[in-house]
Structure 1
Amino acid sequence: MSAVANPVRGEASLRVAGEMLVLRPSFAALVAAEGELGPLFALVERAAEGRLALGEMVALFWHCLCDRPAGLTREGLGEAVAAQGLTAAMPALRLLLGQIMAGR
Protein backbone atom coordinates (compact mmCIF):
# COMPACT_ATOMS: atom_id res chain seq x y z
CA MET A 1 0.00 0.00 0.00
CA SER A 2 1.46 3.32 -1.05
CA ALA A 3 1.49 6.21 1.37
CA VAL A 4 1.19 9.90 0.68
CA ALA A 5 3.73 12.33 2.08
CA ASN A 6 2.45 15.43 3.85
CA PRO A 7 4.73 18.35 2.93
CA VAL A 8 3.27 20.43 5.77
CA ARG A 9 4.85 17.92 8.17
CA GLY A 10 8.12 18.10 6.25
CA GLU A 11 7.62 14.66 4.74
CA ALA A 12 9.07 13.50 1.44
CA SER A 13 8.11 10.68 -0.92
CA LEU A 14 10.44 8.07 -2.29
CA ARG A 15 9.43 5.36 -4.77
CA VAL A 16 10.90 1.94 -3.99
CA ALA A 17 9.94 -1.16 -5.95
CA GLY A 18 6.85 0.57 -7.32
CA GLU A 19 5.67 1.66 -3.89
CA MET A 20 5.67 5.21 -2.56
CA LEU A 21 7.34 5.43 0.83
CA VAL A 22 7.13 8.35 3.24
CA LEU A 23 10.23 9.87 4.77
CA ARG A 24 9.60 11.95 7.90
CA PRO A 25 12.49 13.86 9.50
CA SER A 26 11.20 13.54 13.06
CA PHE A 27 13.39 14.41 16.02
CA ALA A 28 13.94 10.74 16.82
CA ALA A 29 14.80 9.93 13.19
CA LEU A 30 17.30 12.78 12.95
CA VAL A 31 18.92 11.89 16.27
CA ALA A 32 19.35 8.31 15.04
CA ALA A 33 20.78 9.53 11.74
CA GLU A 34 23.14 11.89 13.53
CA GLY A 35 24.29 9.09 15.82
CA GLU A 36 25.35 7.11 12.78
CA LEU A 37 26.45 9.83 10.36
CA GLY A 38 27.82 12.52 12.64
CA PRO A 39 26.61 16.11 12.94
CA LEU A 40 23.74 16.90 10.60
CA PHE A 41 25.14 20.31 9.72
CA ALA A 42 28.27 18.58 8.39
CA LEU A 43 26.03 16.21 6.42
CA VAL A 44 24.26 19.17 4.83
CA GLU A 45 27.62 20.79 4.04
CA ARG A 46 28.87 17.60 2.36
CA ALA A 47 25.68 17.45 0.31
CA ALA A 48 26.04 21.09 -0.74
CA GLU A 49 29.61 20.41 -1.83
CA GLY A 50 28.60 17.29 -3.78
CA ARG A 51 30.44 15.03 -1.34
CA LEU A 52 27.48 13.16 0.15
CA ALA A 53 28.10 9.43 -0.22
CA LEU A 54 25.38 7.07 -1.41
CA GLY A 55 25.58 5.19 1.89
CA GLU A 56 25.00 8.42 3.81
CA MET A 57 21.94 9.25 1.73
CA VAL A 58 20.50 5.77 2.23
CA ALA A 59 21.22 5.96 5.98
CA LEU A 60 19.32 9.25 6.23
CA PHE A 61 16.42 7.80 4.24
CA TRP A 62 16.43 4.64 6.38
CA HIS A 63 16.22 6.54 9.64
CA CYS A 64 13.48 8.84 8.31
CA LEU A 65 11.43 6.03 6.76
CA CYS A 66 7.90 5.74 8.15
CA ASP A 67 6.02 2.46 8.18
CA ARG A 68 8.68 0.28 6.62
CA PRO A 69 7.13 -2.31 4.33
CA ALA A 70 7.52 -5.88 5.51
CA GLY A 71 10.65 -7.38 4.06
CA LEU A 72 12.33 -4.09 3.18
CA THR A 73 15.89 -4.10 4.42
CA ARG A 74 18.34 -1.25 4.48
CA GLU A 75 20.36 -3.02 1.80
CA GLY A 76 17.19 -3.37 -0.28
CA LEU A 77 16.49 0.34 0.10
CA GLY A 78 20.04 1.10 -1.00
CA GLU A 79 19.77 -1.19 -3.99
CA ALA A 80 16.49 0.45 -5.00
CA VAL A 81 17.96 3.94 -4.73
CA ALA A 82 20.99 2.92 -6.78
CA ALA A 83 18.87 1.11 -9.38
CA GLN A 84 16.60 4.07 -10.03
CA GLY A 85 19.49 6.51 -10.12
CA LEU A 86 20.45 9.35 -7.85
CA THR A 87 18.41 11.87 -9.81
CA ALA A 88 15.20 10.13 -8.76
CA ALA A 89 16.19 10.37 -5.08
CA MET A 90 17.21 14.04 -5.20
CA PRO A 91 13.77 15.60 -4.54
CA ALA A 92 13.41 13.60 -1.32
CA LEU A 93 16.99 14.35 -0.29
CA ARG A 94 16.55 18.08 -0.94
CA LEU A 95 13.38 18.18 1.11
CA LEU A 96 14.94 16.34 4.05
CA LEU A 97 18.08 18.49 4.00
CA GLY A 98 15.92 21.62 3.82
CA GLN A 99 13.95 20.44 6.85
CA ILE A 100 17.16 19.77 8.75
CA MET A 101 18.32 23.32 8.14
CA ALA A 102 14.99 25.10 8.55
CA GLY A 103 13.32 23.02 11.25
CA ARG A 104 9.59 23.13 11.69
Structure 2
Amino acid sequence: MSGAANAMRGEAELRVGDACLVLRPSFAALVAAEAELGPLFALIERAADGRLALGELAALFWHCVKERPDGLTRDAIGEAVVAAGLAAVTPALRVLIGQILQGR
Protein backbone atom coordinates (compact mmCIF):
# COMPACT_ATOMS: atom_id res chain seq x y z
CA MET A 1 0.00 0.00 0.00
CA SER A 2 1.15 3.57 0.51
CA GLY A 3 3.28 3.05 3.64
CA ALA A 4 3.00 5.04 6.83
CA ALA A 5 1.59 8.54 6.89
CA ASN A 6 4.13 11.34 7.32
CA ALA A 7 2.75 13.83 9.84
CA MET A 8 5.31 16.43 8.72
CA ARG A 9 3.63 16.43 5.30
CA GLY A 10 0.17 16.69 6.80
CA GLU A 11 -0.68 13.10 5.90
CA ALA A 12 -3.22 10.95 7.71
CA GLU A 13 -4.08 7.25 7.63
CA LEU A 14 -7.36 5.56 6.77
CA ARG A 15 -7.92 1.84 7.08
CA VAL A 16 -9.93 0.30 4.24
CA GLY A 17 -10.27 -3.44 4.74
CA ASP A 18 -6.78 -4.81 5.25
CA ALA A 19 -5.14 -1.78 3.65
CA CYS A 20 -3.89 1.29 5.44
CA LEU A 21 -4.19 4.18 2.99
CA VAL A 22 -2.22 7.38 3.27
CA LEU A 23 -4.29 10.53 2.79
CA ARG A 24 -2.26 13.46 1.55
CA PRO A 25 -3.96 16.80 0.89
CA SER A 26 -1.85 17.80 -2.09
CA PHE A 27 -2.75 20.79 -4.22
CA ALA A 28 -4.07 18.54 -7.00
CA ALA A 29 -6.13 16.49 -4.54
CA LEU A 30 -7.68 19.57 -2.96
CA VAL A 31 -8.44 21.15 -6.33
CA ALA A 32 -10.24 17.95 -7.37
CA ALA A 33 -12.14 17.83 -4.08
CA GLU A 34 -13.11 21.48 -4.38
CA ALA A 35 -14.29 20.99 -7.97
CA GLU A 36 -16.66 18.31 -6.75
CA LEU A 37 -17.63 19.57 -3.30
CA GLY A 38 -17.49 23.33 -3.65
CA PRO A 39 -15.27 25.78 -1.78
CA LEU A 40 -13.09 24.16 0.86
CA PHE A 41 -13.84 26.85 3.44
CA ALA A 42 -17.55 26.07 3.12
CA LEU A 43 -16.74 22.37 3.56
CA ILE A 44 -14.78 23.17 6.72
CA GLU A 45 -17.62 25.31 8.04
CA ARG A 46 -20.07 22.45 7.48
CA ALA A 47 -17.70 20.09 9.30
CA ALA A 48 -17.38 22.53 12.22
CA ASP A 49 -21.17 22.82 12.40
CA GLY A 50 -21.63 19.04 12.30
CA ARG A 51 -23.23 19.24 8.85
CA LEU A 52 -20.58 17.44 6.81
CA ALA A 53 -22.38 14.74 4.86
CA LEU A 54 -21.04 11.20 4.72
CA GLY A 55 -20.70 11.45 0.94
CA GLU A 56 -18.65 14.63 1.29
CA LEU A 57 -16.35 12.97 3.81
CA ALA A 58 -15.84 9.96 1.55
CA ALA A 59 -15.22 12.25 -1.45
CA LEU A 60 -12.58 14.27 0.42
CA PHE A 61 -10.84 11.08 1.50
CA TRP A 62 -11.08 9.64 -2.03
CA HIS A 63 -9.40 12.65 -3.59
CA CYS A 64 -6.67 12.71 -0.93
CA VAL A 65 -5.62 9.04 -1.21
CA LYS A 66 -1.91 9.29 -2.01
CA GLU A 67 -1.62 5.99 -3.91
CA ARG A 68 -4.77 4.11 -4.86
CA PRO A 69 -4.30 0.34 -4.85
CA ASP A 70 -5.74 -1.54 -7.81
CA GLY A 71 -9.38 -2.30 -7.23
CA LEU A 72 -9.94 0.45 -4.66
CA THR A 73 -13.26 2.14 -5.25
CA ARG A 74 -14.82 5.23 -3.84
CA ASP A 75 -17.63 3.07 -2.46
CA ALA A 76 -15.03 1.01 -0.56
CA ILE A 77 -13.82 4.18 1.13
CA GLY A 78 -17.38 5.12 2.04
CA GLU A 79 -18.05 1.62 3.38
CA ALA A 80 -14.82 1.77 5.40
CA VAL A 81 -15.95 5.04 6.97
CA VAL A 82 -19.30 3.50 7.90
CA ALA A 83 -17.67 0.31 9.21
CA ALA A 84 -15.16 2.19 11.35
CA GLY A 85 -17.61 4.82 12.54
CA LEU A 86 -17.31 8.56 12.43
CA ALA A 87 -15.37 8.73 15.70
CA ALA A 88 -12.65 6.49 14.25
CA VAL A 89 -12.18 8.55 11.06
CA THR A 90 -12.42 11.97 12.71
CA PRO A 91 -8.66 12.12 13.43
CA ALA A 92 -7.92 11.74 9.71
CA LEU A 93 -10.48 14.42 8.88
CA ARG A 94 -8.95 16.69 11.52
CA VAL A 95 -5.50 16.32 9.95
CA LEU A 96 -6.82 17.13 6.48
CA ILE A 97 -8.76 20.16 7.72
CA GLY A 98 -5.71 21.36 9.61
CA GLN A 99 -3.63 21.16 6.45
CA ILE A 100 -6.26 22.98 4.43
CA LEU A 101 -6.32 25.80 6.96
CA GLN A 102 -2.61 26.00 7.79
CA GLY A 103 -0.81 24.68 4.75
CA ARG A 104 2.65 23.17 5.11
TM over 0.5: yes
The residue correspondences of 1:67-78 to structure 2 (distance < 5 A) are 67-78=67-78
The C-alpha deviation readout for 1:41-80, integer Å capped at 9, x for no partner, is 0000000000000000000000000111111100111111
Structure 2 unmatched ranges of 5 or more: none
Q: Hey, what's the Cα distance between the residues in 1 that align with 2:18 and 2:84?
A: 11
Instruction: Give 1:19-98 correspondences, 5 Å limit.
Output: 19-98=19-98
Equivalents in 1 of 2:95, 2:73: separation in Å? 23
Return the TM-score normalized by structure 1: 0.96
- Distance in 1 between the 2:76 and 2:20 partners? 15
After TM superposition, the runs of 4+ consecutive aligned structure 1 residues lying more than 6 A away are: none
Aligned partner of 2:31: which letter?
A: V
Matched residues, number: 104
Percent identity, aligned pairs only, is 71
SS in 2 for 1:69: coil
Unaligned runs of 5+ in 1: none
TM-score by length of 2: 0.96
Give the alignment's Cα RMSD to 1 decimal. Answer: 0.9
Q: Aligned AA for 2:47? A: A
